[in-house]
Amino acid sequence: MEELKPIRSALISVYHKDRVDEIARRLFELGITLYSTGGTYDFIAALGIPVQTVESLTSYPSILGGRVKTLHPKVFGGILYRRDNPEDRNQLEQYDIPGIDLVIVDLYPFEATVSSGASRDDIIEKIDIGGISLIRAAAKNFEDVVIVPSSDQYDRIINLLEDKKGFTTLEDRLYFAAQAFNVSSHYDTAIFNYFNRDTGIKAFKKSILNSEEMRYGENPHQQAVYFGDASESFEQLNGKAISYNNLVDLDSAISLIGEFEEPAFVIIKHTNACGVAVRPKLIHAWQDALAGDPLSAYGGVLATNRPIDPETAEEINKLFFEILLAPAFEKNALEILKSKKNRIILQHKPTDFQAKQFKSILNGVLEQGRDTQTESPADLHVVTKTSPDNQQVKDLIFANIIVKHLKSNAIVLAKNGQLLGAGCGMTSRVDALKHAIAKSQEFGFSLEGAVMASDAFFPFADSVEIASKAGIKAVIQPGGSVRDDDSIRYCNEHGVSMTITGTRHFRH
């Protein structure tokens, strides 16, 4: 049977005092000697619970405006001494150092202070020194000492004190030690990233404490965990648990719908848009987005940038879909959509995505800046004799937004604010174009007068030739091919306008 070790004394030094009263009372009931510092001491003493100051232990006051309180051999010796080591025990007796078996610490709120926009001086003062040292010391000596490194562990320590009456097992102490290094490493990472904003040291240091275990990953045989807080991006109003693939698709949907200012609807399938439309009235945006590819829309992820009204909800309700994301829902609309209990309904919250993106590659990590470039009419450089008219310019911008969010190679065909056909994830640009044309024809669209957007340059004139013969009258592309002149020449000979943006939008 695993050996139980008693807690005879505890040091409590916390920034936030929530629930400290519960813990202190339970420790007192168990006859455990309490030591504390500053405001924590005042808080516990006010409860009428016997508690000793750390200053009475060390014979030194808190100095340097509170920067030095617990950094003393009489504190760290009591934590770090090895109970089964005779020499350690002799030294504790020699220097009159009491043992400390439980350490409860709540670090200064460094991240919250940074997020608040506080001054540099205030931020620096929230770099905890004593607390982080106590955490590391107690965790290092987990064979004998229990460390509670944050308020997130209060439930567990309270339950442990109740169940084991002030005793702990090695398994208990090892768990708390692991949590302690989780907290301390996260804290140090946050501090490094703050300082590194100005220094530019090339190091990959990211830490996320929040996690949610997924039922499985992309496929049932793959395990998966989401690290982050999805509730920052949306509130779930209905439906089953969100899956790994759902989250991936939602990331794409939120990124794309955020590009549009007019009322818009997007339909995402396997991270790619299969239906997009902008219209003055939301129900028409939905109907035209769905018309773009009603076959692929089945089981898709839907997103809009306007509140859902009952009329639109009735139309959406006719389709089987996985997820609907919108900024708001009128009451009657929500009741209509909640008619299917597994259907995931999400209320979108304004989301600022981090500036960097990361991808796991070859046992390493690739980091890049997020593609935040979105072209406007001012970015369009007409290189042909024919210029696009006002409606075509709007459609070119619309198509270029969509193609930016598709897997490369990607082509988008659009007209009057509606996606008519898309080809994406193709190994050649010509194949992407042919697929887009085939899609548009499959669902009865005429491409006469439509526009084409390409995520990268045309290496040959074949794509513009195929597009022109299908009815395309305006083209937008980044340019940069050594054969750009071939494509421009063909457009000039066949009355097609071409604009070049100078910005490629590959997506792999």
CA 259 to chain centre: 19
Identified catalytic residue from 140, 338, 407, 494: 140
Position 221 scores a pLDDT of: 96
312: exposed, middle or buried (Cβ count in 10 Å: 0-12, 13-18, 19+): buried
Position 180 scores a pLDDT of: 96
Position 351 scores a pLDDT of: 82
- Give the number of C-alpha atoms closer than 13 A to the C-alpha of residue 223, restricted to the C-beta side: 1
Nearest partner of 404 among 291, 507, 251, judged by Cα: 507
Instruction: Establish whether 394 is a catalytic residue.
Output: no
Identified catalytic residue from 17, 164, 270, 494: 270
Which residues have a Cβ under 8 Å from the Cβ of 196 and sit 6 or more positions away? 203, 205
Q: Which residues of the chain have pLDDT under 70?
A: 1-2, 69-70
Which residues have a Cβ under 8 Å from the Cβ of 90 and sit 6 or more positions away? none
CA distances from 508 to 2, 386, 429 (A): 53, 33, 14
List alpha helices for 96-169, DSSP H: 110-115, 120-125, 130-140, 154-164
Nearest partner of 297 among 279, 278, 328, 324, judged by Cα: 324
Instruction: Establish whether 270 is a catalytic residue.
Output: yes
Position 69 scores a pLDDT of: 67
Q: What is the pTM of this model?
A: 0.87
